[in-house]
């Protein structure tokens, strides 16, 4: 009788973990297919040169783009269009160095998740 009760409790606990995992969405999360590109103008790139960050494959929630540049961290947000694409043109270069560009989107329960990333270097 005691062994049967222990097995029943163990099964209930396992089911509780499975249900919690499925409810949070983590078990259903698929790798992101979002892309992220940086388009710099041709020619000489100087301090303050504007560039465009774009990409596709985003869901229907707002996308936040964060740029870590040699001098600052900049960010902005945009809703993807009907095709799941973004195009943001309000960033500009801040001198030579490494730039890391990340796209974040709320997936599964409102948790911000990095869904795409790229980087570039200016000399």
**Distance, CA of 90 to CA of 77 (rounded, Å):** 11
Q: Quote the pTM value.
A: 0.73
Same domain assignment for residues 53 and 101: yes
pLDDT digits (tens, 9 = 90+) for 91-101: 999 999 999 99
pLDDT digits (tens, 9 = 90+) for 2-43: 445 434 433 333 333 333 333 334 433 445 799 999 999 999
- Residue 49: give the domain boundaries: 31-122
Task: Give Cα 58 to chain centroid, integer Å.
Answer: 9
CATH code of 56's domain = 2.60.40.10
Same domain assignment for residues 36 and 50: yes
**Distance, CA of 62 to CA of 83 (rounded, Å):** 13
Same domain assignment for residues 41 and 68: yes
pLDDT digits (tens, 9 = 90+) for 66-114: 999 999 999 999 999 999 999 999 999 999 999 999 999 998 778 899 9
């Amino acid at each position: 009788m005691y062994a049967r009760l222990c097995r029943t409790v163990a099964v209930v606990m396992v089911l509780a973990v499975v249900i919690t995992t499925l409810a949070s969405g983590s078990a259903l999360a698929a790798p992101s297919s979002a892309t992220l590109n940086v388009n710099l103008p041709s020619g000489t790139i100087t301090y303050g040169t504007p560039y465009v960050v774009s990409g596709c494959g985003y869901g229907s929630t707002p996308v936040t783009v964060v740029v870590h540049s040699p001098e600052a961290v900049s960010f902005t947000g945009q809703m993807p269009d009907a095709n799941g694409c973004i195009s943001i043109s309000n960033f500009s270069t801040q001198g030579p160095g490494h730039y890391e560009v990340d796209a974040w989107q709320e997936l599964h329960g409102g948790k911000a998740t990095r869904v795409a990333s790229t980087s570039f270097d200016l000399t």
